Structure 1
């Protein structure tokens, strides 16, 4: 089935989650983090906040255990985004700050995007 709408895309992702997760866990650490983060993004888009958090935490913990800082920062940024979308500005701010700290430490340009998100949150208390 080729999805023709956003809702169909989310349904496809949900229906193939098991296979995607099994595949993700067989990949190298960088690809695992990316796959799990994308699965978490799908859950966020589908409004399954708790499942999104679970998958993004797994992605974060996987990267942390492997010492993969960029992956940790990406997962923290996505956790911040999920919290922001869920209306938890305080948690979003904490996660974005954690991500920013790592992005700055590794010299990633993603830090600029996170600074923008923090500024936006600060201007809309």
Structure 2
């Protein structure tokens, strides 16, 4: 084996919220795309994976992204992962994989909305930070 091992370090990481609604997003640059981990709640886990690939919009204006979604049966984590992955892919124009696992027992509707808002905030904060590094 070679001593020259690649080590990928986070290029961005952030947290939003508290307690059972806290969400973390970690992004790593693979050199040809981003690999993200979106976890939180009381029981972080692997609930699904989304791959988003940027492409020119079909309207001819701007960019869009195609998403390929693989949920663990019975999990809805890919709903937020899809939005995160598509937004990052579209805005950064690179392939993005997001593995997501967010769970807290018996979430109230307002807590679920809070978690969704935290995911959106983390995405926008990451974009702002990564766009500054260009």
**What TM-score do you get using the length of structure 2 for normalisation?**
0.30
- Which has the larger helix fraction? 1
